């Protein structure tokens, strides 16, 4: 059987899971690939820990299973890239450093296929990696970079090639969804729910990338490139996270028959693509509203085939590794026929300020007569129609209430809020949530 030899660079949670799957079901993988899938090299600084954690033999590791230094690791990587018998490199180091970026470029230049779960690298510095893969006629697989075990990349690249995706929306960060789910189900505050997420292993000791919306933004950038052929930066996305979400915000969502979720959203309208990552009030008849815990889900709306929803585990060692192994098998079978370039379109990208949504605006103001009328008047001056106004909730000398608008732009709402601020009645910055149907 024609051999297909693989090296893994980085044997932590995802790389180790990949090695484990290849070893455990190797015979099945050979049958699926029509080739002999051989894991021949692993580069890992702390090899003894990886060997024990994933039950891997010392012979697979550069250095014979001993811990190695960064300099030694770099030397072993150089040997791998110059070994013509190695056909594919799996990058599971992570991060966006020059070292990892350059290693991916050199992998392609060496004529080797590349598989990576590195969403941050692909989102922030992926353009020249993809160009290097195309130029050197090698395949690059990154299914695991977006939503772990969910095959959203292959679905877009393969299954929807006879259709046109109009919009994509989804819950692409399991940590944030876990926190919001606990806040809703157990009426917890944000800090309490975050602590539970950390104790359960869903949130890191430093959860900033997850709760800031940055992780979700990386994934959305990759999807925007795949679907609309548009290169977008993190600055353009203008992402928001969930740190400032309160139990009151959760309650306001329930009042309008919705659930508060951190949503990735992108839609094409003519020659413009609108995109954002932010907390949205998702109506309960939208399937995304019912996604609980650390689960991920993606919904596309297609021109010809309508709505599609993919649901599954968005993280985890075995879950993410299964997507990497799928990329390996797919590359082993079809590398000569794979399309190496991604679409490129001259479209204009705009953030949420310019896209029409219905919104919920929550206000904390002085508690005195006429406040609600003042607020609604200023909103009306911006030609924004109001759908509902909730009753006031009094807390000491403050009033809390929310306003649900008809579809308008965030730019209009911001203009109204600036005028309301001039009145001096606000006790805190109003919160604005798009409503997703």
Which domains does the chain possess?
A: 3-151+318-334 (3.40.50.720), 152-313+346-352 (3.30.360.10), 355-436 (3.30.70.260)
pTM above threshold 0.75: yes
Q: List the catalytic residues.
A: 219
DSSP per-residue codes, 347-369: -EEE-GGGSEE-EEEEEEEE-ST
Return the C-alpha torsion angle 315, 321, 323, 328, nearest 10. Answer: 160
Question: 81-84 long-range CB contacts below 8 Å, 24 or more apart?
Answer: 81/106, 81/107, 81/110, 81/112, 82/110
- Per-residue confidence of the chain (437 residues) as pLDDT tens digits? 799 999 999 999 999 999 999 999 999 999 999 999 999 999 999 999 999 999 999 999 999 999 999 999 999 999 999 999 999 999 999 999 999 999 999 999 999 999 999 999 999 999 999 999 999 999 999 999 999 999 999 999 999 999 999 999 999 999 999 999 999 999 999 999 999 999 999 999 999 999 999 999 999 999 999 999 999 999 999 999 999 999 999 999 999 999 999 999 999 999 999 999 999 999 999 999 999 999 999 999 999 999 999 999 988 899 999 999 999 999 999 987 776 566 678 899 999 889 999 999 999 999 989 999 999 999 999 999 999 999 888 888 899 999 999 999 999 999 999 999 999 999 999 999 999 99
> Alpha carbon of 320 to those of 7, 93, 312, 326, 391: distances in Å?
17, 14, 11, 10, 46
Residues paired with 360 in a beta bridge: 404, 433
> Alpha carbon of 234 to those of 27, 121, 122: distances in Å?
42, 12, 12
């Amino acid at each position: 059987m024609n051999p297909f030899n693989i090296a893994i660079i980085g044997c932590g949670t995802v790389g180790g899971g990949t090695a484990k799957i290849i070893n455990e079901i190797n015979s099945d993988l050979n049958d699926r690939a029509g080739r002999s899938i051989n894991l021949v090299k692993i580069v890992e600084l702390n090899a003894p820990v990886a060997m024990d954690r994933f039950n891997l033999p010392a012979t697979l590791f550069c250095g014979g299973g001993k811990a190695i230094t960064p300099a030694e690791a770099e030397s072993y990587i150089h040997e791998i890239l110059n070994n013509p018998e190695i056909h594919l490199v799996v990058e599971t180091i992570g991060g966006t450093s020059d070292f990892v970026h350059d290693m991916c470029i050199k992998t392609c230049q060496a004529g080797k296929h590349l598989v990576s779960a590195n969403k941050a690298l692909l989102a922030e510095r992926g353009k020249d990696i993809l160009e290097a893969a195309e130029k050197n006629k090698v395949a690059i697989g990154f299914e695991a970079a977006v939503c772990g075990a969910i095959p959203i990349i292959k679905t877009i690249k393969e299954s929807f090639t006879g259709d046109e995706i109009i919009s994509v929306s989804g819950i692409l960060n399991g940590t944030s969804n876990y926190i919001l789910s606990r806040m809703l189900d157990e009426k917890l505050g944000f800090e309490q729910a975050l602590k539970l997420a950390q104790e359960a292993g869903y949130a890191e000791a430093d959860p900033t990338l997850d709760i800031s919306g940055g992780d979700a933004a990386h994934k959305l950038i990759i999807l925007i490139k795949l679907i609309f052929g548009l290169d977008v930066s993190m600055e353009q996305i203008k992402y928001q996270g969930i740190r400032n979400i309160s139990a009151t915000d959760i309650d306001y969502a329930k009042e309008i028959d919705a659930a508060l979720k951190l949503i990735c959203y992108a839609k094409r309208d003519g020659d413009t693509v609108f995109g954002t990552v932010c907390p949205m009030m998702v109506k309960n008849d939208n399937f995304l509203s019912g996604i609980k815990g650390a689960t991920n889900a993606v919904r596309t709306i297609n021109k010809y085939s309508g709505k599609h929803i993919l649901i599954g585990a968005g993280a985890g060692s075995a879950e993410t590794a299964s997507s990497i192994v799928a990329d390996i098998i797919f590359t082993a079978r079809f590398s000569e026929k794979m399309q190496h370039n991604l679409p490129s379109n001259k479209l204009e990208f705009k953030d949420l300020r310019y896209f029409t949504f219905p919104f919920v605006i929550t206000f904390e103001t002085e508690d005195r007569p006429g406040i609600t009328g003042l607020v609604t008047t200023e909103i009306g001056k911006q030609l924004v129609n109001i759908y509902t106004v909730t009753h006031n909730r009094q807390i000491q000398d403050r009033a809390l209430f929310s306003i649900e608008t008809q579809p308008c732009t965030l730019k209009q709402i911001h203009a109204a809020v600036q005028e309301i601020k001039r009145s001096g009645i606000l006790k805190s910055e109003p919160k604005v949530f798009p409503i997703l149907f």
